[in-house]
Amino acid sequence: MKLGFPWRKTKGSSHPIGADPDADLELLLDECRRNLPRCDEALIRKAFQFCVQAHKNDVRESGEPYYTHPLEVARIIVSEIPLDDVSVCAALLHDVVEDTTYSLEDIRAEFGSTVAEIVDGATKISGIFRSTELRQAENYRKLLLALVKDVRVILIKFADRLHNMRTLEHLSPERQQRVARETLEIYAPFAHRFGLANLKWELEDLAFKYLNPTEYNAIKQALAETRSEREAYIACFIEPIAERLKKEGYRFEITGRPKHIYSIYQKMQRLGVPLSELYDLLAVRIILDTNENKDCYTVYGIVADIYEPIADRFKDYIARPKKNSYQSLHAAFIGPEGKRVEVQIRTRAMHEVAERGIAAHFRYKENQGNGRVPSWWNDKELEEWANWVRDIFESAGDEAPEQLIESFKLNLYQDEIYVYTPRNDLIILPKGATPIDFAYAIHSEIGNHCIGAKVNGKLVPLDHKLQTGDQVEILTSKNQHPTSDWERICVTHKAKSNIRKYLNEEKRRVVELGKQLWEKQLRKLDGAPTQEQFDRMLGKLGVSNPNEFFYKLGLGVLDVASAVQLLRGEPAAPSLPAVEVQPTTTLPERLRSSSAVILEGDHPTIPNLLYQYARCCNPVPGDDIVGVITIGSGIKIHRRDCRNIAEMGHALQARLVNLSWAPQSDGVYLATIRVTGEDRSGMLHDITNAITGYRNTNIRSVNIDAFGSEFEGIITLYVENLDHLNEIFGRIKRIRGVRSVSRFNG
């Protein structure tokens, strides 16, 4: 059983829909003749008759013949998202494969490959949010892939969902809530992304009607009570503007623009005020019949000559279109009686895109030998839409389903900002985006190696929120890599998915290293352990599965030799409570088992000295050091003057061991320094040059905060020993404007 509605008369028809299939077909054909540039009536007649025959045994929950649903979807495609006759045909057939005994090959044989592929795409994505999170994510991927193949698939799904929402009253309250929620969270944002403004607004209002009927009815009633008053005021506001535009010779349409119930509710919630205190319910739209964008600015000047403009409410989406190609001037003026009125000014072509989005660009051309093929692949704006979808689809990779869904929801429906590269190339990002998002928007490798940024010539930290008009320069280092913190900082799907991809690959490398260490150790045993012995060992270690075991071996959190002791049933070394280790650096920095440090005194309970350098103070050869015994992590090595050691005091005494550096401590070590000084142009460049210019020192990360004319920077770098670090200190101190350089003790 499907969504349904009672028999009713439809606007423009003289009979109840569903009462007479022949009359229904003639109604559809009449609408096609009026709205489509051309119409293959024979094709549509054939599709309609096939639809009626296929669904002859199906009824809707209202008892109505089921064919009325695909008929109404086709009418939406004709009248509200005008496409073409092929789309009308596919809309009539969109449920046939899913709900009847006919197959896709039957559709292909009767109507050709193009119609069959559109129907196939609509069928594959019809189960979105119908089952588990995994099904949701998989169906989302199918939707995106189908969209890349043919945009008509998603447009038919929009029409399908719109008709379902218009007929939602016959479902149970529980199903109404579910359908309304997924409409508000998924379909309306998708419609927004593809520029289908009218469809988006109706989907939002219908969903809101069922999700919050009390608020919906209260706002609707309040608007109805003040409607005549608002209409009279708008007429008064419009009159002098219309007179001036006629005098200037413009051809135009000027009307009051209705505010939608859900958008009013959102603003009430955002501002925390009742409807009576909202001052921008009055809105006007001016549509110019012109091909000159500059006329929009001239008309803005005319309106500003009549009414006082509100300076901070002017937005130019003509010079800087939204990502879905929306263009218009948005402004606000003080009208009669001191009331604020919002005004939109756009050309007729801009209005078509604003109302119908991607469908406004949908055109076809004749291609000899191949029939009709979509020319939208050659349309720059539509190609950008397709690229956006393709980027999300291809970067999804093996993300967890809940992460995929969260990212899509986040990126579908956000306000946008407009920022620029140093070459003044425009980058459009969601509001709240950071330099990390900007870096990944340029290229994934730039994102992976981003160490900092300069915004409008000033150093900023990676979590800095970018604003429209900012010019952003990304600073990179080959030794920089994403960390888990980055994912919390960034907001775009592209950035989050690339960061997750890198971290997952890093984890796989650690697991592989752990396997190699384990296999190497097993080769030394007399015989391979049984599965029972292995499982018993995992239980004693508190590890849930082999992959987690190998991961901890690779990190060095678990000691291979101790694990073998447990495998043999021998008692493990005495231990202290476990300390969780979060891997945030590359493998060589996490844990070492070489002879870089020497354990002083006799400690037989510590097998095969394993140690890890504490991240809070990052000791390097030459520092006075001390060790803290832990379980799994071996010994944590701190500088003796580390603040954490001092603060723990007597509580650590029983766990402290004296350490010294071996005579030959080869390799490089992480050190973190704090630099303060004057925030002048070129400062970060001078600092990084001073570091990298000495013995090719590598920088791992840079985090800069600016305070007025001052800055503070935390820089992590690789050094060989304390002498190396002291030389870096000296080079930085000689830079003009640097106030201080010191070790950073986190």
Work out the pLDDT band at 388, boundaries 50, 70, 90.
low
8 A C-beta contact, residue 171 and residue 60: no
Q: Report the run of H or E that residue 182 belongs to, with start and end.
A: helix 173-182
Please tell me the predicted confidence (pLDDT) of residue 391. Answer: 54
Asked if the model's pLDDT at residue 458 lies above 60, the reply is yes
Structure tokens at 350: 């801009």
Spell 180-191 as b/e; 16+ CB within 10 A means b: bebbbbbbbbbb
Mean pLDDT across the stretch 426-439?
88
**pLDDT above 70 coverage of the chain, percent:** 78
3 state DSSP class of 233: helix
Residues 6+ apart with CB under 8 A from 225: none
Structure tokens at 658: 């004296």
How many of the other CB atoms lie within 10 Å of CB of 57? Answer: 8
Give the model confidence (pLDDT) of 178-233 as tens digits: 889 888 887 887 787 777 778 888 999 999 999 999 999 998 888 887 888 888 88
Cα distance between residue 267 and residue 287, in whole Å: 26
Asked if the model's pLDDT at residue 139 lies above 90, the reply is no
Structure tokens at 361: 């660009």
Token pair 């995992």 is at which residue?
A: 538
Asked if the model's pLDDT at residue 384 lies above 90, the reply is no
Give the model confidence (pLDDT) of 718-734 as tens digits: 899 999 999 999 999 99
Please tell me the predicted confidence (pLDDT) of residue 682. Answer: 80
Asked if the model's pLDDT at residue 378 lies above 50, the reply is no
Work out the pLDDT band at 608, boundaries 50, 70, 90.
very low
Q: Report the run of H or E that residue 255 belongs to, with start and end.
A: strand 252-256
Please tell me the predicted confidence (pLDDT) of residue 525. Answer: 76
Q: What are the structural domains, with CATH classification, of the chain?
A: 21-205 (1.10.3210.10), 221-358 (3.30.460.10), 669-743 (3.30.70.260)
How do strand 635-639 and strand 611-613 relate by DSSP bridges? Answer: parallel
Cα distance between residue 83 and residue 80, in whole Å: 9
Please tell me the predicted confidence (pLDDT) of residue 588. Answer: 33
Cα distance between residue 584 and residue 576, in whole Å: 23
Asked if the model's pLDDT at residue 370 lies above 50, the reply is no
Best CA proximity match to 303, nearest among 252, 230, 229: 252
Please tell me the predicted confidence (pLDDT) of residue 279. Answer: 62
Give the model confidence (pLDDT) of 159-178 as tens digits: 999 999 998 988 888 989 98
Asked if the model's pLDDT at residue 324 lies above 60, the reply is yes
Please tell me the predicted confidence (pLDDT) of residue 726. Answer: 94
Please tell me the predicted confidence (pLDDT) of residue 344. Answer: 93
Residues 6+ apart with CB under 8 A from 617: 638, 639, 641, 642, 643, 644, 743, 745, 746
Asked if the model's pLDDT at residue 528 lies above 80, the reply is no
Give the model confidence (pLDDT) of 560-571 as tens digits: 777 877 777 765
Cα distance between residue 178 and residue 402, in whole Å: 18
8 A C-beta contact, residue 432 and residue 458: no
Mean pLDDT across the stretch 614-629?
88
Residues 6+ apart with CB under 8 A from 156: 73, 77, 87, 90, 91, 94, 118, 122
Mean pLDDT across the stretch 241-256?
92
3-state helix, strand, coil in the chain (%, to 5): 50, 15, 30
Asked if the model's pLDDT at residue 452 lies above 90, the reply is no
Mean pLDDT across the stretch 448-463?
84
Mean pLDDT across the stretch 701-722?
85
Asked if the model's pLDDT at residue 392 lies above 60, the reply is no
Taking CA atoms, 136 is separated from 117, 161, 193, 211, in Å, by 22, 17, 19, 21
Mean pLDDT of the chain: 78
Best CA proximity match to 102, nearest among 77, 70, 127: 70
Please tell me the predicted confidence (pLDDT) of residue 620. Answer: 92
Name which of 72-86, 474-488, 498-512, 574-588 the model is least confident about.
Answer: 574-588
Best CA proximity match to 337, nearest among 419, 225, 230: 230
Cα distance between residue 145 and residue 128, in whole Å: 14
8 A C-beta contact, residue 81 and residue 358: no
Please tell me the predicted confidence (pLDDT) of residue 82. Answer: 76
Mean pLDDT across the stretch 662-684?
85
Taking CA atoms, 552 is separated from 221, 528, 578, 634, in Å, by 62, 21, 13, 13
Structure tokens at 252: 């135009």
Taking CA atoms, 225 is separated from 220, 230, 231, in Å, by 9, 10, 12
Cα distance between residue 338 and residue 70, in whole Å: 50
Please tell me the predicted confidence (pLDDT) of residue 573. Answer: 43
Cα distance between residue 357 and residue 157, in whole Å: 15
Active site positions, annotated: 98-99
Taking CA atoms, 39 is separated from 31, 36, 44, 45, in Å, by 10, 6, 8, 11
Please tell me the predicted confidence (pLDDT) of residue 710. Answer: 85
Asked if the model's pLDDT at residue 354 lies above 90, the reply is no
